């Protein structure tokens, strides 16, 4: 991650750390291989308390993957994504419960890792929804007045060459609050990545992901973030995406990764490097 003049900088972030041992093992191996620069943690997920210690010395930023849609057997305020969106846009969420959920997941991060997160984003991009984004910005301002964590902008990056359904999905995510969240974050003096890459249908196996990854890298602009959702092959990932998570891992672990980066004039960086 040494700076190279003239190369575009991109953050590569794996989401869902803590959801299962397979996900955690896969993410940690990809960090070791130099494929990732950031790890986003579901701090109330089943494996987080057990595996958090393994993150302490990794060469990557560590962040909170704010979760309002999957309880994973834990108490808290969780709703199906479609219902959460409707209630957020109807401004009918209980703001006290929303704030308590953010605080609780932040507390778990600090308790297990002994420090504040480098960044905050959202599982299924919930951090950008009305009411939730307001509560999140308030919590960040209050808890981290001097050195606040970075925040993920989910507005779509360049989409050239991607299939129409994936371009549509990326724009839907952006329309659900990404631009409003980015504007509010900037107004509050918070820092964000430029744009988001990596949106797809989480299907198609290794062949599909191996086709999409070079396209995303080719579309990356300086300061963009590429998200991924890998898991170590050979074990259940804890959700219905096990096969695709393993496919992502295999593609990200390929030796061709370095060639793809060099061909596109990219270098992987941590948040502070953008």
The residue behind tokens 């995510």 is: 173
CATH number of the domain bearing residue 150: 3.20.20.370
d(C-alpha 115, C-alpha 143), whole Å:
12
Q: Is residue 265 part of a domain?
A: yes
Is residue 144 one of the residues assigned to a domain? yes
Rounded CA-CA distance 171/155 in Å is 8
Residues 51-108: tens digit of each pLDDT: 999 999 999 999 999 999 999 988 899 999 999 999 999 999 999 999 999 999 999 9
Residue 135 within any structural domain of the chain: yes
Kindly report the pTM of this predicted structure.
Answer: 0.95
pLDDT of residue 177: 96
Counting the structural domains of the chain, the total is 1
Instruction: Give the domain extent around 111.
Output: 8-273
Residue 177 lies in a domain: yes
Considering the domain boundaries, does residue 1 fall inside one? no
For strand 196-197 and strand 224-228, is the pairing parallel, antiparallel, or unpaired?
A: parallel
Specify if 3 maps to a domain. Answer: no
Task: Establish how many alpha carbons lie within 13 A of residue 113's alpha carbon, considering only the half-sphere containing its beta carbon.
Answer: 28
Residue 39 has pLDDT above 90, yes or no: yes
Evaluate whether residue 250 is within a structural domain. yes
């Amino acid at each position: 991650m040494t700076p190279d003049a003239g190369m575009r900088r991109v953050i590569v972030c794996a989401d869902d750390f803590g959801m299962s041992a397979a996900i955690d093992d896969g993410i940690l191996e990809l960090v070791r291989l130099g494929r990732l620069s950031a790890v986003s943690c579901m701090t109330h997920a089943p494996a987080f308390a057990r595996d958090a210690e393994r993150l302490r010395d990794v060469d990557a930023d560590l962040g909170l993957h704010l979760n309002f849609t999957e309880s994973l057997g834990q108490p808290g305020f969780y709703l199906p994504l479609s219902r959460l969106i409707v209630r957020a846009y109807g401004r009918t969420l209980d703001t006290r419960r929303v704030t308590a959920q953010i605080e609780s997941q932040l507390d778990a991060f600090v308790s297990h890792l002994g420090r504040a997160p480098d960044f905050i984003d959202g599982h299924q991009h919930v951090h950008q929804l009305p009411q939730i984004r307001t509560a999140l910005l308030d919590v960040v301002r209050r808890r981290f007045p001097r050195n606040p964590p970075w925040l993920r902008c989910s507005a779509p990056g360049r989409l050239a060459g991607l299939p129409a359904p994936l371009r549509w999905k990326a724009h839907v995510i952006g329309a659900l609050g990404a631009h409003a969240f980015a504007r509010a974050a900037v107004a509050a003096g918070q820092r964000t990545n430029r744009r988001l890459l990596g949106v797809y249908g989480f299907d198609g196996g290794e062949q599909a992901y191996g086709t999409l990854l070079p396209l995303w890298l080719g579309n990356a602009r300086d300061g963009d973030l590429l998200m991924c959702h890998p898991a170590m092959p050979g074990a259940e990932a804890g959700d219905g995406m096990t096969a695709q998570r393993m496919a992502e891992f295999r593609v990200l672990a390929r030796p061709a990764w370095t060639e793809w980066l060099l061909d596109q004039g990219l270098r992987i960086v941590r948040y502070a490097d953008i």
